[in-house]
Amino acid sequence: LAARLAQHNLRVLLLERDTLPSLPAASSPIIYAPAMQLLDEIGADERRYARNTPPIRQWTVEAEGAFRVSQPVPPVGGRDYGYAIDRARFDGALWDHAAGMPCVDARQRHTVTDLLWDDGRVCGVRAKNIATGEIVDYHAPLVVGADGRFSVVARKTGAKSHSEHTDEPTTNYYAYWQGVKPVNPDIGTAYLYSTGGDYGFLILDSADDSTLIAIEGRSDVINTGRIGAEKFYHDFINRHPAICQRLRNAQRITPVKGMKRIGNLYRQAGGPGWALVGDAVHQKDPLDGQGIYDALFTAQALAQAITAWHSGKTTWQQATTGYEAAVLTETQPMYRATLSRVHREIYTRRPQWFLRTMARWLYEDERYRQHWASLYLRQTDPDTWFTHWRTLLPMLRGIGRDIQHFFAR
């Protein structure tokens, strides 16, 4: 957002609590072509934010004891790949890019402790310089909270939540490893391992020959109890030979991190003198790996609203109304699709006979896989991608294949 505003010669004070690059908050590290196209718009250098990171050109889906199929990543805008980025490297590269722009004053190790108000309107922030302990008040015509799920700006302004879904919460834990046996030694791969419900695994080839191994599932199942995240994570992996055998000669190189009872909600997008962006305004389950795209899109939409307001084309109220509408239009269909997938693939337990027949018929169908892949790349309408018609035909084709194989034997 700071880079986009600087492109319009708007002065931005960018405050960051940490020192970048640093270990990030829990996050899905996946980005695909649509997210990289948004990064292209601000001039971010792919060679820097994805340095020494293998392009992911293939998805492999395996259902426990039932089937295993692979699907190439379809090209979008000239890119037929994505990345499981190193978030510390990614965040650091974007920070350096924005901080290097003439209109941006970027300060790390500054934490916002409160908002400043003038006659019911936010007019700045109170921040603490962590290095010196100094408390400083900064005044500005607009304050933006790009401060995540537990946004201070959202809390201090009383931003209301809406469209919240808490009835089927998920929890995930992950760590990075080295020496993992690759799913495909010849091509960067995102490997999804399904157990038929309750939880699943995700293995991603990532930066510097590292591999991310994540568990996501129902919060009542992925529950560390008293044993702690580290032991729970390792015990869980050891219960699954298909995952465990890939780690026979591997070493974990990061702590186990994660998110409990992941939120699914929207917040009020703005008010007098303030706005929210990224996870502060919208958050959802990471099952579809759309979080970074959503953050980048909300930054684009908010930058357009701010520049229109700053140039006098709209009032701030009109700008925030338009911004919120743009966010909902772009993200709500995928939000509904993600919540539907959480219900269908995590909260609905599938027996082995279902995996060996109906699920296998779907995923062995090339046209279904292409349609499924286009959902991740935002090239199909999320509201219509899993209709009865789109699933019935692949299943019928799957039955036909099984009959052919039977008679061939």
Share of the chain above pLDDT 70, in %: 99
H-only helix segments in 191-270: 229-238, 241-244
Helix and strand numbers, DSSP H then E, in the chain = 13, 21
Residue 390 has pLDDT above 90, yes or no: no
Mean pLDDT confidence for 200-212: 95
pTM for the full predicted model: 0.95
Residue 103 has pLDDT above 90, yes or no: yes
Are 235 and 250 spatial neighbours (Cβ–Cβ below 8 Å)?
no
Cα dist. 196→261, 352, 359, 381, 387 in Å? 20, 8, 9, 26, 20
Q: Please give the backbone phi and psi of residue 12, each rounded to the nearest 5 degrees, phi first.
A: -130, 130
Are 259 and 284 spatial neighbours (Cβ–Cβ below 8 Å)?
no
Q: What is the pLDDT of residues 236-278, one digit of tens each?
A: 999 999 999 999 999 999 999 999 999 899 999 999 999 999 9
Give the range among 21-30, 81-90, 141-150, 325-334 with minimum mean pLDDT: 21-30
Mean pLDDT confidence for 196-213: 94
Q: If pLDDT is split at 50, 70 and 90, which confidence band does 225 have?
A: confident
User: What's the pLDDT at 38?
Assistant: 98
Are 115 and 122 spatial neighbours (Cβ–Cβ below 8 Å)?
yes
Selected residue with higher pLDDT from 389 and 96: 96
E-only strand ranges, 130-234 = 135-139, 143-145, 161-162, 170-178, 188-197, 199-205, 210-218
Are 27 and 87 spatial neighbours (Cβ–Cβ below 8 Å)?
yes
Q: If pLDDT is split at 50, 70 and 90, which confidence band does 22 have?
A: confident
Mean pLDDT confidence for 332-357: 94
